[in-house]
């Protein structure tokens, strides 16, 4: 009987095919969304003044619900069928459970921090509730798989980006430091220009003014197209393969043999 | 006889294979283009002063034509062959008919608004005439189908973008609020920076100045490449499939029979 | 004999398989590059002061060579084998010949303009010599074919971009005109913001400051990703097809039958 | 015996299947990373003041190790199996060996430069150590091959970019030079605007202000999408092919035999 109730509770928590699971999942999702929204709007002065008390009450209530969910997940750890030793400990340190723990941390505020500044930072942790959504969206996991399959290409692309960034920033530092000693004061400072340029953001707060600096900047900008085009190219290919694999992985409908598409 | 005339009128309106249909469509298209142009140039002070009266006359005349077109479409609703109940009501609330209605709204200005400010806003509604063009372009409907086929991927991509935006803006708010309390006054204000950075626009009106803020900004900028590359990748794949489907599919390498891809 | 000489001259001009053709083509290409460079550097004050006379002499000499080339091409028009009436006239108004004519226009300056300002503008025409390079590069013609094959998709994409631009600029005009009447003075003025934002350039000279304006701006920026991703997706598909076709158009090396790739 | 030792040393240097090779490679890689980091942080005033002496000692020691590695590579040149004449000279001028030589140049400072400014520039050469990493990463070589296979397409794309850049900058110079004679002082100066716009960076330091200039700028910006989309499209295709080739090719739909694609 108790086992049955536990199984039902587990399936509701994990989004199984039980009555109430869909309702519970939607409720948690809405609670997450409202908490994130609450953290965001609370930073507006007039919202804090007018609705601060209501938002704090909402925070306490929803964190208690999240805490209950966390405790229940922990309690039902046996349902996962992990027969190894320290199954509970292993489960407790899994990424999703750690996110859950971090989110409910502000509940323990009175025990953790006396300093009001620290309290504020801790209360901000609620925004990590947004990661709890990851558990609810299967498609994002698939998405992640696709990208992970290209991890080596992407890592290489970002390594090349990093290499170009270091060389570009060093050259720009030597070209501009006499003309703008405040802006290009060191290579790390110059790397701010590098990142802003290579990603084509171009805020305009750090801009080369000497002819040599502009020549280097123009070269980096044009090179930046290539650096930018590479990850996009990798992604396009990744999605292309993902779609092909998704459409059945290829077996001929007539003879049934597998086809490489 | 009257039925025949109605059928001809219907086919002219809908761009059928009747004499005059192409002429009528071109005329309406030109009228739409001129109306949109008129709304745009009318906002220039000197145009309003010099040609205001002519433009208002043009507006009244063309809105009357649009109103006539609208009335005729409504009157000929039986031609659509919708045998369900409330066919007229269903037709009247279809998106294209609502756009048509909105466009001719300024005709009813004297009955709707006395306030001159309200009048101005209402007259602006004419710019929605641009959506009337959608009816005339079949290829745009196809285009929309292609994109809609990837709606789930795109939604997910925009959800990830939104998630990154919230986290990046929150972090930037905590990093910069002491140094620039005016600019990064709250998370919603900080999200302006987030959007401008993640979309690589980089106006330069809100820029991190602290080392921590710049480190976070650099990370977000580099992450922004990936976030940007994903929709482009999805689009490239969508167009690739759209072209292939157009070319008629392939054939099994083992048995040689054709396969729908 | 004369016919032979004419044929040789024609083949040298058109880059045929004759001795001297490659040398002549390289010479013309270098002359074009030097002329374009000359137009560019001549706008630098100190270059004009120090080397102005030499550059003008170089201009006259090279334009005479281009004029000779133009005259020779015209004279040898029969070699093209166009047996239709008005073959010479048809040839004279072909795009490449018009470019050639425009480039040598500054030679007729004394007859065309007395005003020094006009003279300057006319002398600038030499920069169009860069288009003469198009004749020399076959691959660019192929490149153009690829893009032209997608002309309808690209036109549609640019039409959508234009539509979004008009709507975004109109909305931004109504949102910001009270707060920044100088910057967002009219819809055409507001369209400068629209173009700069949708293309993700983001100069920062026209930026929304009101909450409503920023909300619209954020929406447009995010929509801008999609608008930007579409032409890239079309191009990626176009190049994909171009490569496939280029690699042999598909015939099996074993059985010789054609394969759709 | 000595031959054996030489062979082992060679395999350790080149990352062969010998004990110690992996350790040595990791050690060199870490040394390179630390040297690059050292060049970067040394430009920060407070780092130079506090840790300058340590960093200089670290520099001398690591350059000695690099010099030893360089000498050993040279000494073991016979192991490469190059039986041609001047094998040593050929090897010494190979790109990787030149990079190695440049990196250790600062060691010869006392003999090369007395001037402190020159000394500084020379010490910066250490940052080229980052190119030494290229030897250690096979995948980057493959990456390079992929891109090189498209060299002609990319060259053409960059040539078109260059052409658009020259025309856009020339037009903008003529449109803006009266309104902003300081900013658009010449075509080369105007090309800074051109590069910053076509790459969608948009710093905002050089921006058209006249209606004509803005109209040209808007056209260039929209054209810039196409220019930008082309390299991305080429890259997407390149990666697509790279992946397909990796998966082994296809088979003929008629006879079923495998085809190298």
Averaged pLDDT, B146-163: 81
The encoded tokens of residue D65 equal 């190790």
> What pLDDT is recorded for position B216?
94
Q: Does B179 contact chain C (CB < 8 Å)?
A: no
Q: How many Å lie between the alpha carbon of A224 and the closest alpha carbon of chain D? A: 8
* Range with lowest mean pLDDT among A246-250, D51-55, D251-255: A246-250
Say what the ipTM of the complex is.
0.83
* pLDDT of residue A110 exceeding 80: no
How distant, in Å, are the alpha carbons of C119, C189, D189 from that of D180?
22, 19, 12
Q: Burial letters for B123-147: b for 16+ Cβ neighbours within 10 Å, e otherwise?
A: bbbbbbbbbbbebeeeebeebeebb
Fold type of domain A2-136: 1.20.120
Closest C-alpha among C180, B226, A225, C30 to residue D147: A225
Mark yes or no for CB contact C153/B239 under 8 Å: yes
Residue window 210-239, chain D: list those with CB within 8 Å of chain B: 232-233, 236
Give the whole-angstrom CA distance, residue C56 versus residue C64: 12
Lowest mean pLDDT among C75-84, C122-131, D22-31: C122-131
pLDDT, average across residues B101-123: 71
Distances (CA, A) of A184 to A96, B65, B217, D118: 42, 63, 18, 20
3-state SS assignment for residue C187:
helix
> CATH 1.20.120.350 in chain A, residues?
2-136
pTM: 0.85
pLDDT tens string D109-118:
766 656 666 6
Mean pLDDT score across all residues of chain C: 81
More confident residue, C249 or D184: D184
CB within 8 Å: C237 and B232: no
Q: Indicate if the pLDDT at residue C82 is higher than 80.
A: no
- Tens of pLDDT along C18-71? 778 888 888 888 888 898 898 889 888 888 899 988 988 898 899 899 999 899
Mean pLDDT computed over A151-171: 85
The Cα A192–Cα A183 span in angstroms is 10
CB B206 within 8 A of CB B193: yes
Question: Selecting from 1.10.287.70, 3.40.50.2020, 1.10.150.120, 3.30.2040.10, what CATH number does the domain B151-248 have?
Answer: 1.10.287.70
- Does residue B249 register a pLDDT over 50? no
User: Chain centroid to CA C227: how far?
Assistant: 23
Interface residue D81 vs chain B (CB under 8 A): no
Which of A137-146, A152-161, D60-69 has maximum average pLDDT? Answer: D60-69
Dist CA B72 CA D40 (whole Å): 74
**Locus of tokens 């002429």:** B23
Contacts D159 to C, Cβ<8 Å:
140
Determine contact, residues A170/D39, Cβ cutoff 8 Å: yes
pLDDT of residue A253: 54
Amino acid A184: pLDDT: 92
Instruction: Fill in the DSSP letter of residue A251.
Output: B
State how far the alpha carbon of A126 is from the alpha carbons of A43, A223, C178, in Å: 13, 41, 38
Provide CB contacts within 8 A for C54, sequence distance 6+. Answer: none
Q: Taking chain B, what is the end-to-end CA distance rounded to the nearest angstrom?
A: 49
Tell me how far apart the alpha carbons of residues D258 and C205 are, in angstroms, rounded to a whole number: 59
Q: What are the tens digits of pLDDT across the range B182-239?
A: 999 999 999 999 999 999 899 999 999 999 999 999 999 988 887 778 888 888 888 8
**Beta bridge partners of residue C258, listed in sequence order:** C251
Give the SS3 label for residue B241: helix
pLDDT tens column, B1-41: 677 888 888 888 877 777 788 888 888 888 888 988 988 89
Which residues contact residue A76 at a Cβ distance below 8 angstroms, ignoring those fewer than 6 apart? Answer: A6, A9, A10, A13
Is a pLDDT exceeding 50 seen at residue D208? yes
| Residues C257, B256 contacting (CB under 8 angstroms) | no
Per CB-CB distance under 8 Å, the chain C contacts of B250 are 260
Q: What is the tens place of the pLDDT at every residue in A13-44?
A: 877 777 788 888 888 888 888 988 988 898 88
pLDDT tens per residue, range C99-145: 888 888 888 776 665 666 666 666 677 777 777 776 656 666 667 77
What would the mean pLDDT of A56-67 be, rounded to a whole number?
89
Burial of A155 from C-beta contacts in 10 A (0-12 / 13-18 / 19+) = exposed
- Cβ contact C201–D221 (<8 Å): yes
Write the pLDDT tens digit of every residue in D59-83: 889 989 999 989 998 888 887 777 7
Nearest neighbour of C202 by CB, restricted to A202, A232, A236: A202
Q: Is C194 part of the contact surface with chain B (CB cutoff 8 Å)?
A: no
Do residues A90 and A101 touch, judged by C-beta distance below 8 A? no
Query: Closest chain D residue to B253 measured between Cα atoms?
Result: D253
Pairing of strands D250-251, D258-259: antiparallel
pLDDT of residue D144: 75
pLDDT(D251) > 60: no
CA D52-D53-D58 angle, to 5 degrees, is: 100
Q: List Cβ neighbours of D175 (8 Å cut-off, separation of 6 or more).
A: D208, D210, D212, D213, D216
Residue D260 has a pLDDT of 47
Mutate to test the interface with B, among D47, D236, D254 (most CBs of B within 10 A): D236
Task: Return residue ranges of chain B for CATH 1.10.287.70.
Answer: 151-248
Select the residue of D202, D203, D253 nearest B256 (Cβ to Cβ).
D253
CA distance A107 to A119: 11
Distance from CA of A197 to the nearest CA of C (A): 12
> What per-residue confidence (pLDDT) applies to D248?
44
**Mean model confidence pLDDT for chain B:** 81
Strand pairing category for B250-251 and D250-251: unpaired
List of chains touching D (3+ CB pairs within 8 A)? A, B, C
Q: At what angle do helices B151-176 and A138-149 cross, to 10 degrees?
A: 80
Is A195 in the D-facing interface, judged by CB distances under 8 Å? Answer: no
Pairing status of strand B250-251 against strand D258-259: unpaired
Task: Classify B258 as helix, strand or coil.
Answer: strand
CA distances from D240 to A224, A239, B95, B252, C236 (A): 21, 10, 40, 21, 10
DSSP for residue D258: E
Q: Which residue has the higher pLDDT, D144 or C191?
A: C191
Q: Is B184 exposed, middle or buried (0-12, 13-18, 19+ CB in 10 A)?
A: buried
């Amino acid at each position: 009987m108790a086992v049955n109730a536990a199984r039902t509770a587990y399936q509701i928590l994990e989004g199984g095919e039980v009555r109430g699971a869909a309702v519970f999942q939607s409720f948690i999702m809405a609670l997450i969304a409202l908490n994130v929204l609450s953290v965001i709007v609370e930073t507006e002065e007039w919202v804090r003044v007018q609705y601060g008390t209501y938002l704090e009450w909402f925070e306490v209530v929803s964190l208690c619900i999240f805490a209950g969910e966390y405790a229940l997940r922990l309690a039902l750890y046996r349902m996962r069928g992990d027969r190894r030793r320290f199954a509970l400990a292993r489960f407790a340190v899994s990424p999703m459970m750690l996110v859950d723990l971090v989110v409910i941390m502000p509940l323990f505020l009175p025990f953790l921090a006396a300093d009001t500044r620290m309290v504020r930072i801790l209360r901000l942790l609620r925004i990590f509730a947004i990661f709890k959504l990851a558990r609810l969206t299967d498609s994002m996991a698939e998405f992640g798989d696709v990208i992970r399959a290209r991890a080596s290409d992407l890592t290489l692309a970002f390594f090349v980006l990093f290499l170009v960034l270091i060389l570009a920033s060093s050259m720009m530092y030597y070209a501009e430091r006499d003309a703008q000693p405040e802006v290009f004061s060191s290579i790390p400072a110059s790397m701010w220009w590098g990142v802003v340029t290579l990603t084509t953001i171009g805020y305009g707060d750090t801009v080369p003014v000497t002819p040599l600096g502009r020549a280097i900047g123009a070269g980096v900008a044009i090179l930046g197209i290539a650096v930018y085009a590479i990850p996009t190219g990798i992604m396009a290919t990744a999605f292309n393969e993902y779609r092909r694999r998704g459409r059945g992985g290829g077996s001929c409908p007539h003879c049934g043999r597998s086809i490489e598409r």
